[in-house]
Amino acid sequence: MLNRLRILIVEDVVNDAKLGVRELKRAGIACDFRRVDTAVDYRRELEEFKPQVILSDFSMPQFDGMEALAIARQSHPYVPFIIV
């Protein structure tokens, strides 16, 4: 049985997140994902979902990629973080 990659997506546009997941699956990457667009939701999913990788938009109205990176560096420094 293949392990599915847990991906936390920091993105305010739902369709952009879905496009990214579709491309990952098309590349043969089995994954489960959660999408967040606020710092509160992000912190919660870091603890509950326990992502193996974080994909983040750089700029969003309420939250941004640099803030997400800073939070991840403090609480989950070994989780790969990619700004898309």
Q: What is the DSSP string of 29-69?
A: --EEEEEE-SHHHHHHHHHHT--SEEEE-SB-SS-BHHHHH
9-18, 41-50, 56-65, 75-84: least confidently modelled range: 56-65
Query: Tens digit of pLDDT for each residue in 34-56?
Result: 999 999 999 999 999 999 999 99
- Provide the pLDDT for residue 1: 47
- Residue 5 CA to residue 31 CA, distance in Å, equals 4
Q: What is the pTM of this model?
A: 0.92
Higher pLDDT, 62 or 79: 79
- Residue 30 CA to residue 6 CA, distance in Å, equals 9
- Provide the pLDDT for residue 2: 64
Mean pLDDT along residues 50-75 = 94
